[in-house]
């Protein structure tokens, strides 16, 4: 079973087309398909090439309602705060970021992130996909001494140890991978990551 997970397209339609040309059983768009909510239906039109194999999260540049509407119009799955079974695996998704200095449309407080992640705590084995990376790690490092991820995401990973964790949001950390206990974690960015599950 192949899951292609990607994030932070930000209106780069050529990058999105390249990703969708890869054969996979599931395509998970982990937020920020667009910038400041502009061009959402163009994103939907391109994602619709893979139809009901596509699962979409809102990033911080899209509201949950905007993504839900796009999914409804283009035959995609709204994956925000949802989970699905893929064979023996559970795959769960949470969009939005922790607060940013930019007042973007899709931001949660740390308490809101913690509350929404809690419903995934009992799922195992778990593949967790969030827009926000865990705070204070290689996955949220903007530059030396500056991290911009979520403390609640980090606490969830440390406590519940999903087998896999994928995120985006911090462009400077695209492609970074790390191990957190038994969790294999990666900031996928628009390069994406093809996960093969048994």
CATH number of residue 123's parent domain: 3.60.21.10
Closest CA to 1 of 21, 19, 28, 31: 28
d(CA 186, CA 165): 6
Name residues whose C-beta falls within 8 Å of residue 23's C-beta, 6 or more positions apart in sequence: 2
CA neighbours closer than 13 Å in the CB half-sphere of residue 101: 2
d(CA 122, CA 99): 27
d(CA 182, CA 56): 26
Full strand arrangement of the beta sheet holding 2-6: 77-78, 54-56, 26-29, 2-6, 193-196
Residue for token pair 């990607």: 6
Predicted pLDDT of residue 26: 98
Burial profile 132-166: b = 16 or more Cβ within 10 angstroms, e = fewer: bbbbebbbbbeeeeebbbbbbbbbbbeebebebbb
Predicted pLDDT of residue 52: 95
d(CA 82, CA 192): 21
d(CA 64, CA 10): 16
Q: Chain-centre distance of CA 163, in angstroms? A: 16
d(CA 3, CA 67): 20
Predicted pLDDT of residue 7: 98
Partners of 186 in beta bridges: 166, 177
pLDDT in tens, 135-156: 999 999 999 999 999 999 999 9
3-class secondary-structure state, position 150: strand
Predicted pLDDT of residue 181: 98
Report the length, in residues, of the chain.
Answer: 198
What are the residue ranges in the chain where pLDDT is below 50? none
The count of domains in the chain is 1
Q: Which domain holds residue 77?
A: 2-196
């Amino acid at each position: 079973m192949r899951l292609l997970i990607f994030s932070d397209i930000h209106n780069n339609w050529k990058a999105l087309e390249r990703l969708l040309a890869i054969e996979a059983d599931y395509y998970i768009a982990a937020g920020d398909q667009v910038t400041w909510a502009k061009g959402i239906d163009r994103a939907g039109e391109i994602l619709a090439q893979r139809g009901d194999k596509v699962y979409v999260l809102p990033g911080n540049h899209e509201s949950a309602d905007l993504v839900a509407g796009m999914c409804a119009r283009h035959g995609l799955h709204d994956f925000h705060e949802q989970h699905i079974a893929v064979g023996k695996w559970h795959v769960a998704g949470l969009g939005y970021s922790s607060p940013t200095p930019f007042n973007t449309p899709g931001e949660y407080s740390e308490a809101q992130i913690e509350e929404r992640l809690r419903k995934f705590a009992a799922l195992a084995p778990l593949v967790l996909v969030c827009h926000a990376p865990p705070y204070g790690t290689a996955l949220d490092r903007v530059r030396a001494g500056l991290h911009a991820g979520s403390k609640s995401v980090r606490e969830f990973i440390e406590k519940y140890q999903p087998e896999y964790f994928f995120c985006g949001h911090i462009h400077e950390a695209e492609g970074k991978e790390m191990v957190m206990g038994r969790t294999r974690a990666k900031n996928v960015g628009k390069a994406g990551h093809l996960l093969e599950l048994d």
